[in-house]
Structure 1
Amino acid sequence: MKDEYIKQINILQSNFNILVAKKFENQLDNELTAKQVLLLELIKEGVTSTKDIANKLNVSTSAVSQILNKLEDREYIERNFNPQNRREIILNLADKAHQYFKDLAALKYQINKNIYENLSSEDLKQLKNILEKLLTIATDSDLSN
C-alpha cells in the first residue's frame, strides 16, 4: 500500500513542479543553466575556490573552470587574488548574481503566496509538519539504500 502512495506522490510532485514552471517560466532567468546556478549557489554559500567547488561536486577542476569562465564572461562572478596568497584566486558573486538571487527570492515568494494562500491555516500547518518530518528523515538517514 505504501508503494502505491509513494508512486502517486511522485507523480503529483512532478505534475505540480511542471505546472508551476510553465506558469512562471516567462519570469525566470533562462540565461543560466542548472549547473551554472548550482555553482552560483555554492559561491553564495561561501565556497570560494575552484578546487573546493570541484571537490564538493566530485568533478574535475577543469570542468568547473569552464563553467566559471562562462559565468565570468556573463558578469555573474568575479575572480580576485587572495591578498594573503597571490597564487590563490577567490570567487565572488558579482552584482548581476546578487540581483539574480534577489529576483529569484521575490519570484519564489510570489509563487508560494499565489499557491499556498488557497490552503487553509490547518492545511498549511499539516504541510509544514510533514515537510519538517521529511527533512528530518532525509537528514538523519542514509538515502543511498
Structure 2
Amino acid sequence: MKTLDFYVKQLHETFDETSRLLTVDLETLSQFNLTPQQESYLMFCIKFAPLTATELVREFGVSKSAVSQVIAKLESARFIEREKNPDNMRETLIYLGPKGRMFARRIKDFNEKMREEYYTHLSVKEIESVIRSLQKLNSVIKEKQKAALKEVEF
C-alpha cells in the first residue's frame, strides 16, 4: 500500500513537471522581471483594481509598510498608478499603469492558450476535481498561516 509520503512526493514532482513544461509559455511574463511578491500584488490589482493599500494588507496579511514598499516599486516601474479617491481624499486608490495593463493582457493571452491547448483535453469533472482539491489545500494553508500569524502577534 502506498503511503501519504509517496503521494505527497508524487504531487510535488507533478507540480514541478507542470512548471517546467510551462516555462516556454510563461516566458512572455518573465520578461517583466517581477519578484513573486510583486507578481502576486499585481495579479490582485488586475482582479480588483481600483483598490487601496489596506485591501492588499488584508489580503496578504503583511504590514502596511511592506505593502507600501512593493507598491512604490510597482509604481516607479509603471505597473500601477495611484490617485486620490475623489470620494474620500484621505484614501489613495491603486489602478493598473501602462505596464500593468500590458502584463494583464499577457496573462489573458496565457489563460486563453491554457484553455484552448491544454484544458480542452480534460473533462469538466477532472477540472472540477482539481479545483476542489486546490481550494481545499488553499483553505488549509490560509488557516495555518492565520494561526501562525496569531502566535507571532502574542
Quick one: which of 66, 77, 80 aligns to 2:80? 77
- 1:5 positional shift: 2.9
CA RMSD, 1 decimal: 2.7
Unaligned runs of 5+ in 1: none
> CA offsets, 1:55-98, max 9 Å, x none?
32121211111111111111111111111222211111123212
Unaligned runs of 5+ in 2: 145-154
- 1:49 positional shift: 1.4
- Which whole-Å CA distance do the structure 2 matches of 1:142 and 1:31 have between them? 30
- Which whole-Å CA distance do the structure 1 matches of 2:35 and 2:135 have between them? 30
Q: Between the two proteins, what is the percent identity of the paired residues?
A: 23
Q: TM-score, normalised by structure 1?
A: 0.76
- 1:9 positional shift: 2.5
- Which whole-Å CA distance do the structure 2 matches of 1:125 and 1:55 have between them? 33
- Which whole-Å CA distance do the structure 1 matches of 2:73 and 2:140 have between them? 35
Show the counterpart of 1:35: 37
- 1:30 positional shift: 3.3
Quick one: which of 14, 17, 22 aligns to 1:15? 17
The structure-2 alpha-carbon separation of the partners of 1:52 and 1:10, relative to structure 1 and needing over 3 Å to count, comes to same
Give the total of aligned pairs.
Answer: 139
Structure ranking higher in helix proportion: 2
Show the counterpart of 1:128: 127
